[in-house]
Amino acid sequence: MIGGDAVNDMLAPPRDHSTSDQVESLAKGADIIVHSTIHAIMGPGMGSGTYPYAFYRQSTATDIGAMAQRDGTKYLMLTHLIPSLGADEQYPFKVPGRPLTEADYRKTVRDGGFTGTIIVGTDLASLRLPLK
C-alpha cells in the first residue's frame, strides 16, 4: 500500500488524526505501507514558520505509526520526508532546533504505537519482504 495523502479528511484542527480515513481503509491488512510524512516539529507554533495550510495537508509520522499499528502492518516505510534528513531548512521554512535524523523519525513513529519494522526512506532505499 502506497499512501501520499496530501489532502486529509480534516485540513485544520480540531481533528483526531492527520491521516486519511480512506487511506487507512485501503491499508488494512497490508504487509507494508509506504507513506509520505511530515515531522511534528514543522507544525504551527513550533518555530518553523510553516504555513498552517501546508502543515495540515500532510500526515505526521506519529499518526502514520498509529495507523499502521491499527491496520496490523508489519513494515512501514516513510518517504518524502518533511524535513529531509540532516536539513536545517525545508525551503523556505526553518527546521527548529537541529536537523532531524533517522532516529528522530523512528522515535516519533514509535510514539504513535507502531511496533513493526520502520524504514526511513532515503535515496535508493529498498526493502526485501520475506516469502510467504
Instruction: Please give the grid coordinates belonging to residue 99.
Output: 536537523
Instruction: Decide if 64 contacts 37 (C-beta within 8 A).
Output: yes
Which residue's entry shows cell 536539513?
87
Using one digit for the tens of pLDDT, what is the confidence trace for 26-53? Answer: 889 999 999 999 999 999 999 999 999 8
Instruction: Please give the grid coordinates belonging to residue 44.
Output: 504551527
Using one digit for the tens of pLDDT, what is the confidence trace for 55-114? Answer: 988 999 999 999 999 999 999 999 999 999 999 999 999 999 999 999 999 999 999 999
Which residue's entry shows cell 518517504?
79
Residue 43 three-state SS: coil
User: Whole-model pTM?
Assistant: 0.89
- 131 is a domain residue: no
- 129 is a domain residue: no
Q: Which domain holds residue 104?
A: 2-114
Which residue's entry shows cell 480512506?
22
Element (H, E) at 33: strand 32-38
d(CA 125, CA 117): 14
- 93 is a domain residue: yes
Tally of structural domains, the chain = 1
- 87 is a domain residue: yes
Q: Give the residue, 45 or 16, on which the prediction is more confident.
A: 45
pLDDT at 12: 72
